[in-house]
């Protein structure tokens, strides 16, 4: 082998090693991003649930007009709106969960309608 062939073989080997390393790193970064995306989606759902619960309590006759609950409701809503700015992140994995959530909401609505009829 000539000196040029040896240099080209070394450069090719380094290039292959570098490309494999970049592939492994990119795959690990994507897995972490998807994990964070799922966690942010779960956090958004929890905040939505909390805001709905506070709103439900605030609308009860016993607590209607209570300033503390009113401020808590406003805080929950503003926090929820602030979390929506991260929708592009948790939207990565939410597309898969949207169909399941829609089916669950339809089942809950049907159950509520049945309860109201009785």
Give the structural domain span for 16.
3-96
Residue 43 resides in a domain: yes
- What is the C-alpha separation between 41 and 94, in angstroms, rounded? 7
Mean pLDDT of 65-92: 81
Residue 107 resides in a domain: no
**Is the pLDDT score of 18 beyond 70?**
yes
- What is the C-alpha separation between 104 and 98, in angstroms, rounded? 10
Residue 117 resides in a domain: no
Mean pLDDT of 4-22: 96
Mean pLDDT of 93-101: 58
Residue 80 resides in a domain: yes
Specify the pLDDT at position 96: 56
Residue 103 resides in a domain: no
Residue 83 resides in a domain: yes
Tokens matching residue 96: 């898969």
What is the total count of domains within the chain?
Answer: 1
**Is the pLDDT score of 115 beyond 70?**
no
Residue 115 resides in a domain: no
> Would the pTM count as exceeding 0.75?
no
Residue 12 resides in a domain: yes
- What is the C-alpha separation between 39 and 45, in angstroms, rounded? 10
């Amino acid at each position: 082998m000539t000196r040029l062939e040896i240099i080209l073989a070394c450069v090719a080997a380094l290039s292959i090693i570098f490309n494999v390393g970049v592939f492994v790193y990119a795959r690990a970064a994507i897995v972490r991003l998807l994990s964070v995306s799922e966690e942010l989606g779960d956090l958004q759902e929890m905040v939505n649930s909390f805001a709905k619960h506070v709103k439900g309590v605030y609308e009860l006759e016993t607590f209607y007009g209570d300033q503390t609950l009113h401020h808590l409701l406003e805080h929950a809503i503003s926090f929820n709106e602030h979390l929506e700015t991260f929708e592009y992140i948790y939207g990565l994995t939410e597309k898969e969960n949207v169909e399941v959530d829609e089916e669950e909401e339809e089942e809950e609505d049907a159950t509520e309608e049945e309860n109201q009829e009785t």
